[in-house]
Structure formats: C-alpha cells, structure tokens
Amino acid sequence: MLHTYRGKEIMAYDEPYWIGGVGLIGGTAGTDAVQQAELLVMLGTDYPYVDFLPKHGNVIQVDERALAIGRRAPVKLGVVGSVRPTIRALLERLPQRTDTAFLDRAQERRAAWDRMLDERADPARAGDKIHPQAVARAVSDRAATDAILVTDTGEVTLWAANWLRQTGRQRITGSFNNAAVGTGMGIANGAQLLDRQRQVILHVGDGGLTMLLGEFMTAVEHELAVKVVVYDNSGWGLVHLEMEGAGLPAAKGTGFPNLDFAAFARACGAQGFTARDADALDATVAEFLAVPGPAILHALVDPAEVPAMPHVDAKQALRFGIAKVRELIGR
C-alpha cells in the first residue's frame, strides 16, 4: 500500500504493508512499486503528476467524482463510487494470496530509503549547520501522537513530508496545491480553532510565513496555541531548485533577507525560539513544543541542502551541474 501526500495520514509509519509515497513527496520504494505493479488500484486520488503514474493501462480507479476517472492515467476499469464500500465488496470476492515476492522487493527498497532518510536527518552530520531534514525529524518525533500537522507549500513540503514518521492517528493537512505559498498559517489557525485541545504544528518556509505574517498575530489574539516551525534558508528554495533543474543559475530574486522570527513572536506577546546549533536542536524542539500558547521556532537551515528524489537521471544531473557552474562564475 502506498499513497499520495494527501493520504499519508491514513497509515502509520511502522505498518509493514506501508511502502511509502509516490513522486517527489514520496520515495523510491513507492515510485518503483507503482511502475512495476501488474495492476494499480487508485482509490479516491486525482494525483496530478502523471510522470509518476504507469502508462500500461492496467489500472482500476475508484472515485466519487466521475470527471477524475482516467484523467491522469489510462484505466482498464473505472468505478464511480465511495472507496470504503467498494473495497469492502472487493475484498469479499478476492482469494487469499500467499506469494509475497513483490511485497518483499518493495519492503527492501523501503528499508534502504528509510536508512537514507535516517542518515540525512542525523544532527551529527551537520557540523556547524542545521540541515532541514534534522528539523523535520526532530519535530516529527516530538509531536503528539494525535497532532494536526500542517505544511505550507514550497520546498518545506519536501522536508516535512519525507522526514515525518506518522503515527496513523495524526492528521496531515495543508493546501496540497502549487502556488499556494503562505496559506499554512491560516490553515493552522483554523485547525486549532476547531479543536483547542489538540496540538497543531505548522511547517512553513521563511517566504511563506513572511507573506502572511499578520496571521500569527491572529493566533495570539485568539489564544490559538499553534506551534510554527520556520525553515529559514533565506530564499525561495523550490524556485531555486526548479531553476537549477532547468540548467539555469538561481536568479537574484530567489534570495531575500529575513527578520528574526523568534523576536517577532515575542514582540507579538508569544514565545520565540531559535535553532542554530545542531547539538541543541532536539532540546530546543522539545522546549518549543511544550510551552503553552502560540510559539515560533526559527530554524536557520543550510540553504545548500537538496531534497531527496526517487531517481535522478543523467540529464537532470547534467542540468544541475551546469547551473552550479554558472552560479560560480556569475552568469
């Protein structure tokens, strides 16, 4: 079983049949499993990134929205209906299977992917810098088992999604759409307003929080105990990556100066914390999540860190290399 980012909350990280996600907000195991499966069953998903979907047409798609059937990938059978009763009826008719060869291969890939995630999240490799993976993993491991985890749009989505070890009881939400940078703070406020007893954590980039900075004051005004984790790489990280992926040097406008977000939180009457030392990261995250009321954790992360990708082909590597050379020579 695998998922899009929208569906990550459904299964716990330690569920043995959980293989992981698909695409950039996923991993090698899930991406390869989609391509290599003899049959793919798509349940309630309108996953838009067609490069990660199979072209063979051996797909069964179940969705309440008829317009979604076959929109992203060719299907052999489309079922217009709700997922739960459809799956219940299907399971009653399926014979029990004992061949686990495909699952075994997928689990091996997942184990290798997980080891890579653990290595990149290890604060010990940081030296004098904090890596964003370490921040995301520290927050994930310290979050309440039933927390609501909100992620803004941008490069921060890749850190928060791939390094989260979800419990199966947590809710994971956000815009889930491109070009929606800055919506996270408002979504987090709304989630906390609906349930004041539940922990709400927002992962947001420095650009995303700056765009709608006043929404944090809304949290203070209405006593919404949202915990805001700001990944400060002093730039539009995803735009930077997209330009380099096209072989272009990152433009001047992809970087910008930042305010002191922890000082801003205190100026608003809330609590502010700063993470700049990898050795103190876990203790800082623990203290930040434990305080009452709204708070901001200003994490100064390494801007040169590149997100993990399921596969990088030779052409992509060449374009990134060209972009880096052009950046070095100033062209």
What's 98's domain CATH number?
Answer: 3.40.50.1220
Q: Does residue 290 fall inside a structural domain? A: yes
User: Do 158 and 43 share a structural domain?
Assistant: no
User: Do 228 and 127 share a structural domain?
Assistant: yes
Nearest C-alpha neighbor of 148 from the set 169, 180, 171 = 171
Q: Does residue 204 fall inside a structural domain? A: yes
Rounded Cα distance between 33 and 52, Å, is 10
Considering Cα of 9, then 15, then 18, then 23, what sign does the dihedral take? positive
User: Do 138 and 101 share a structural domain?
Assistant: no
User: Do 206 and 246 share a structural domain?
Assistant: yes
Rounded Cα distance between 74 and 80, Å, is 15
User: Do 41 and 140 share a structural domain?
Assistant: no
Rounded Cα distance between 78 and 119, Å, is 41
The pLDDT of residue 320: 46
The number of domains in the chain is 2
Cβ proximity of 41 and 86 under 8 Å: no
User: Do 131 and 56 share a structural domain?
Assistant: no
Q: Does residue 114 fall inside a structural domain? A: no
Nearest C-alpha neighbor of 245 from the set 307, 316, 179 = 316
Residue 256, CA distances (Å) to 78, 210, 235, 242 in order: 47, 11, 5, 17
Q: What would you report as the CA-atom Rg of the chain, rounded to the nearest whole angstrom?
A: 21
Rounded Cα distance between 178 and 13, Å, is 26
Q: pLDDT per position in the chain (331 positions), as tens?
A: 899 999 999 999 999 999 999 988 888 999 999 999 999 999 999 999 898 999 999 999 999 999 999 999 999 999 999 999 999 999 999 898 899 999 999 999 999 999 999 999 998 887 778 999 999 999 999 999 999 999 999 899 999 999 999 999 999 999 888 778 999 999 999 999 999 999 999 999 999 999 999 999 999 999 999 999 999 999 887 776 776 666 777 777 788 899 999 999 999 999 999 999 999 999 999 999 999 999 999 999 998 888 887 776 556 544 545 545 455 555 5
Query: Which of 108, 134, 154 represents a domain boundary (last residue)?
Result: 108
Q: Does residue 115 fall inside a structural domain? A: no
Cβ proximity of 181 and 156 under 8 Å: no
pTM exceeds cut of 0.85: yes
Q: Does residue 116 fall inside a structural domain? A: no
User: Do 10 and 136 share a structural domain?
Assistant: no
The pLDDT of residue 213: 95
Residue 174, CA distances (Å) to 127, 178, 235, 289, 314 in order: 32, 11, 21, 20, 33
Beta-carbon neighbour count of residue 267 at 10 Å?
A: 12
User: Do 264 and 170 share a structural domain?
Assistant: yes
User: Do 254 and 146 share a structural domain?
Assistant: yes
Query: Which of 76, 108, 140 represents a domain boundary (last residue)?
Result: 108
Query: Which of 42, 76, 108 represents a domain boundary (last residue)?
Result: 108
User: Do 129 and 78 share a structural domain?
Assistant: no
Query: Which residue range forms the structural domain that includes residue 57?
Result: 2-108
Q: Does residue 52 fall inside a structural domain? A: yes
The pLDDT of residue 323: 46
Q: Does residue 331 fall inside a structural domain? A: no
User: Do 290 and 145 share a structural domain?
Assistant: yes
User: Do 157 and 78 share a structural domain?
Assistant: no
CATH of the domain at 320: 3.40.50.970
Q: Does residue 113 fall inside a structural domain? A: no
Find the largest Cα–Cα distance for the chain.
64
